[in-house]
A = this chain, B = another copy of it.
Amino acid sequence: MKVTIRNVAEAAQVSTSTVSRVIHDDPRISGETKRKVAAAVKRLNYHPHAVASSLASRSTKTLGIILPNAKEELFMNPFFIQAMRGISIHAQDRGYHLMYAFSKSEEEEVEFIKSYIHSKWVEGVILLTVRHNDQCIAYLRSQQYPFVVIGRPEDANDILWVDNDNFKAMYDVVNFLVDHGNREIAFIGGPLSFNVTLDRLNGYKQALLSRAIAVNPVLVAEGKDFTEKEGHRIFQKMISERIPEAIVTTDDYLAFGVLEVIAERQLEGISVVGFNNTLRSNYQRPTLTTVDIQPADLGSKAARLLIDHLEKRAVVFNHYIIETRLIERDSTTHSAKKD
Contact = CB atoms under 8 A, between A and B. Distances in A.
Interface of A: 47-52, 54-55, 60, 62, 67, 75-76, 78, 80-82, 84-85, 88-89, 92, 97-102, 118-121, 263, 279-280, 283-285, 338-339
Contacts of A80: 81
A51 B56 CA distance: 10
A100 B100 contact: yes
B50 A52 contact: no
11 contacts: A49-B120, A50-B119, A50-B121, A51-B54, A67-B85, A75-B85, A88-B101, A89-B102, A92-B101, A99-B100, A263-B339
B85 A97 contact: no
A100 B100 CA distance: 8
Given A92-B101, A99-B98, A285 B339 contact: yes
A99 B102 contact: no
Given A81-B81, A119-B48, A88 B102 contact: yes
B280 A118 contact: no
Nearest to A79: B81
A225 B78 CA distance: 23
Contact of A84 (B99, B100, B283): B100
A85 B99 contact: no
A136 to B, nearest CB: 17
Contacts of A76: 78, 279
A89 to B, nearest CB: 7
A279 B88 CA distance: 24
A99 B81 CA distance: 14
